[in-house]
Chains A and B, each alone.
Chain A
Amino acid sequence: MAMDLKEIEKHIKEALPDATIDIQDLAGDGNHYSATIMSSQFVGKSKIEQHKMVYNSLKGKMGNELHALAIKTKEQ
């Protein structure tokens, strides 16, 4: 199971159009990523809500096709 970096970015961008996204493939195996996401849509939301917005944008792939995606959210 693996997922392409561009695909992750596309999904997040669809849900959070204004987001600045920086994704790193940590192990080079298409399975362990780290993403820093900045969006104005995070303003006023708790960290849990912010991370849920990112998870939801991935439409159930998190924890399935996508094994590991470390998320860091920032309000902009």
Chain B
Amino acid sequence: MDDQTKNIIKNHIDSNDVCLFMKGTPDEPQCGFSMAVSNMLKILEVKFNGVNVLENQSIREGIKIYSDWPTIPQLYIKKEFVGGCDIIKEMYENGELKKILENKGIDYKKD
């Protein structure tokens, strides 16, 4: 991965408390897994930045190296890689996602 790509990725993660690397956009996801994570964040009313990797091939490949994770979507909260679709789904279902949002001081919808 070249430095420019790395900087773009780092900049997205640094400047957004909740950053989702995804295929498509939150309004128009292009993949079911990306849609699933995006929807969970929407349900929790979490403000997040969606980075559409389909618009930039070097980010699409670069993020996999950056996180050492082979699939997309990838969710970052306060610069920490939290997981891909399966992990986020599990955390959503068992309440851990709310816990991590709470611990990191991110606003979300409380029941």
Contact = CB atoms under 8 A, between A and B. Distances in A.
- Do the two chains bind? yes
Interface residues of B, number: 14
What DSSP secondary structure best describes chain A's contact surface?
mixed
A55 B70 contact: yes
Contacts of B70: 55, 60, 62-63
Contact of A63 (B64, B68, B85, B87): B64
Interface in B63-96: 64, 68-71, 81, 83-87, 90-91
B84 to A, nearest CB: 7
B86 A52 contact: no
Nearest to A68: B33
Given A47-B83, A48-B83, A51-B84, A72 B90 contact: yes
Given A48-B87, A52-B68, A62-B71, 14 more contacts: A47-B87, A47-B90, A47-B91, A48-B83, A51-B84, A51-B86, A55-B69, A55-B70, A55-B71, A62-B70, A63-B64, A70-B86, A72-B86, A72-B90
Interface of B: 33, 64, 68-71, 81, 83-87, 90-91
